[in-house]
Amino acid sequence: IQSKFPDLGLTIFSRMSALAAETGAINLSQGFPDFACDASLLEGVTAAMREGHNQYAPMPGLPALRQAIAAKMAAAGGLEVDADHEITVCAGATQALYTAIATVLRSGDEAIILEPAYDSYAPAIVAQGAVPVRISLAAPDFAVDWAAVAAAVSGRTRLIIVNNPNNPATSVFSQADLAALAEIAERHDLLVLSDEVYEHLVFDGRRHASVLSHPQLRTRSFAVYSFGKTFHATGWKVGYCVAAPALTAEFRKLHQYLVFSVSTPMQHALAAHLRQAGHWQGLAAFYQAKRDRLAMGLRAAGFELLPSAATYFQLADYSRIRPDLGELAFAEWLTREHGVASIPVSAFYADGRNNKLVRFCFAKKAETLDAAIERLGRLT
């Protein structure tokens, strides 16, 4: 076959996790917890299966789950969302993102993405025959230069994709960011796709500001979420997309042919779990403690740390340790020679720039973090 995607290789997450497995390294690369999800979730799945919920769920998602999502969004974020016409349950955030991108973009359209960018956005844009237009954000704070975003808008621009909180930058939007985004979207009649999978993993008392909370953005945005992040179950691959009724109707036209519907017993279990009030409330403190634990060890090992305001990632500058190595080479060296796997931040930039930064995932048991810290302690 003549490849339609000659430039696409294996994702950095598959690559580094495979290297970690091959070398027996502690895997702080790909983002996933190494601890169990809540036992009641697991019981919910088996109960649903035994009760006979083993056939197709309704195309947009189980009504009970969509209602539970709407109730949670009201309780956690004060958002009013119509469960019937604004929520679609998807096979993880990845499918929701792809579906939104394919729903909006035609061949020749442009979509603005902010780099560092999560790795699934650009390929999904290119697969539509559309063009990613990249704005790069710089360490240490990765603030968005909204004037640069406005200047990148052309007559072909249809969509702006944002990731808030940002993987891997760990930055979060302020109300001023939302206002600036809304102003550009309104002025040029653009749609917005907001990847908010880390909505509950925001630290140091800050709060997540969703595009759905902004009146202008509310009507022109798709917001995407994942139960993998909030319920420590990345392997379940269940997420959802929230968008105004007109956008959701278009989204579902494609959703029904991409996946039709998502695993029925998982949806039953998630609906029951969501109804337990406040499950998200302890998440930030839980992960903040892990962040601080890893940070102490990384600093002692000689890394210089960037602030980690959100997500379950920590960016670390290794200039003092191996200034001679590029990011991928450093991540491979650390995995092979010191038994700790990380992700080179260059993987999130199309130009593969070298800022001497790697990303560590701290969604791990205390003993895993401590074992990694012990290994890193022998670095210098």
Binding site for ligand GLN (CB under 6 A): 11, 13, 30-31, 167
From 218, 222, 199, 11, select the one nearest 96 (Cα to Cα): 222
State the CB neighbour count (10 A cutoff) for residue 306.
22
Query: Which residue's beta carbon is nearest to the bound ligand PMP?
Result: 92
Q: What CA–CA distance (Å, rounded) separates 312 from 284?
A: 10
The residue among 30 and 267 lying less far from ligand GLN, judged by its C-beta, is: 30
Strand residues in the chain grouped as ranges (E): 26-27, 87-90, 110-115, 131-136, 157-163, 191-195, 221-226, 239-243, 304-305, 313-317, 340-341, 343-344, 357-361
Q: Is 226 near ligand PMP (CB under 6 A)?
A: yes
The residue among 29 and 355 lying less far from ligand GLN, judged by its C-beta, is: 29
165 binds, among ligand GLN, ligand PMP, none (CB under 5 to 8 A by kind): none
**How far apart are CB 35 and ligand PMP at their closest, in Å?**
16
Mask: binding to ligand PMP, 5-24, rule CB under 6 A, as x and -?
--------------------
Mask: binding to ligand PMP, 244-263, rule CB under 6 A, as x and -?
--------------------
339 binds, among ligand GLN, ligand PMP, none (CB under 5 to 8 A by kind): none
- In the beta sheet, which residues pair with residue 159? 111, 191
**How far apart are CB 167 and ligand GLN at their closest, in Å?**
5
Q: Is 92 near ligand PMP (CB under 6 A)?
A: yes
Hey, what are 199's tokens? 């909505």
Side-chain-side CA neighbours of 350 within 13 Å: the count stands at 14
Hey, what are 113's tokens? 């993405």
Q: Is 31 near ligand PMP (CB under 6 A)?
A: yes
Q: Is 265 near ligand PMP (CB under 6 A)?
A: no
Pick one of 11, 67, 174, 234: the residue that binds ligand PMP (CB under 6 A): 234
Residue 116 backbone dihedrals phi, psi, to 5 degrees: -70, 135
Residue 174 and residue 209 in contact, taking contact as beta carbons nearer than 8 Å:
yes
- In the beta sheet, which residues pair with residue 361? 313
The residue to which tokens 């890193």 are assigned: 376
92 binds, among ligand GLN, ligand PMP, none (CB under 5 to 8 A by kind): ligand PMP
Q: Is 167 near ligand PMP (CB under 6 A)?
A: yes
Q: What CA–CA distance (Å, rounded) separates 17 from 20?
A: 5
Residue 125 and residue 104 in contact, taking contact as beta carbons nearer than 8 Å:
no
Residues 101-160 that bind ligand PMP (CB under 6 A): 118
Q: Which residues sit at the interface with ligand PMP, rule CB under 6 A?
A: 31, 92-94, 118, 163, 167, 195, 197, 226, 228, 234, 239
